[in-house]
Homo-oligomer: A and B are copies of this chain.
Amino acid sequence: MQKPIIILVRPQLGENIGKVARAMLNFGLDELRIIDPRDGWPNPSAGPSAAGADIVLEKAMVYSDLASAIADCHHIYATTVRKRGITKAVVTPEQAALEIFQTNERNAILFGPERSGLESDDVTVAKSIITVPINPEFGSLNLAQAVILCAYEWSKTQNLAVPSYSEIKPTAPQSELDAMIQQLYDGLETKGYFYPPERTGATQRTLRNILTKAQWNSLEIRTLRGVINALEKSPRKANYQNNQDDKDD
């Protein structure tokens, strides 16, 4: 696996170079090349906006021209927003990430200056153009955002840090759900809930469907049984009283 190299072509603000470094490192990219930065390099504005991604800035290589910056790269992608009448394949960041993942060679992604983007001459060296599919009525991605979307898509090919499901407790065994449902039925029966009696089966099926949907775990079912228990208590007592009263009749 070879990570893609992010190449900033004639970037303007050091602050944006720092933001790019931050965006990159979030998704595991750490090789940054900078071609002819307007305000020179190193640039004191870059560090603060890198928010800790200093390693990327420290390792960044500076080149005076595009040709030397890409000399060791096998596949070059150029990011552009506007159409340029250049007859090259246009791919999404997602498609590019997959291609990059599938080659085991040096891939580079070019990003143009903040204001103007890549020149046609820069785009010429690329095998493909990366364009982020964007709101046709409002396309306003800044440099670091364009970088982060490409880095993010690449990171997906790496199983970088997939969210863990390990915290989720398993759904309780059916017997526990059944016991809870039975407790509920009993409590409802006591309260005269199932009326008319011939509808009891249908009503219970409806309840079981509802209570099955959540796929509760054991702890949740225990909690719910406590809830049902608590709800039953005083009415049961009341009922018990009523029953006693009835018996007294």
Hey, which bits of chain A sit against chain B, CB under 8 A? 22-23, 25-28, 51-53, 83, 85-92, 94, 129, 131-136, 138-142, 145, 148-149, 152, 155-156, 159-165, 167-169, 217
Contacts and interface: CB of A to CB of B under 8 A. Distances in A.
Contacts of A148: 145, 148-149
Given A89-B168, A167-B87, A160 B140 contact: no
Copies of this chain: 2
A145 B23 contact: yes
Given A139-B26, A140-B53, A160 B134 contact: yes
Contacts of A83: 164, 167
Q: 8 tightest A-B contacts by CB?
A: A90-B163, A25-B138, A131-B163, A133-B161, A28-B135, A136-B161, A51-B140, A133-B160
9 contacts: A22-B140, A26-B139, A86-B167, A90-B163, A90-B167, A133-B163, A134-B160, A149-B149, A149-B152
A165 to B, nearest CB: 6
Contact of A52 (B26, B90, B140, B164): B140
Nearest to A85: B167
A27 B135 contact: yes
Nearest to A53: B138
Contacts of A87: 167-169, 217
A27 B134 CA distance: 5
Given A23-B145, A148-B145, A156-B133, A168 B88 contact: yes
Contacts of A53: 138, 140
Given A83-B167, A145-B148, A155-B133, A162 B52 contact: no
A189 B138 CA distance: 57
B26 A135 contact: yes
Q: Which of A52, A94, A135, A139 has the most CB of B within 10 A?
A: A135
Contacts of A28: 135
Contacts of A149: 148-149, 152
Given A25-B135, A135-B160, A90 B140 contact: no
Contacts of A90: 163-165, 167-168
Given A135-B161, A136-B161, 12 more contacts: A25-B135, A25-B140, A26-B145, A27-B135, A51-B142, A52-B138, A53-B138, A53-B140, A88-B168, A129-B163, A145-B145, A148-B149
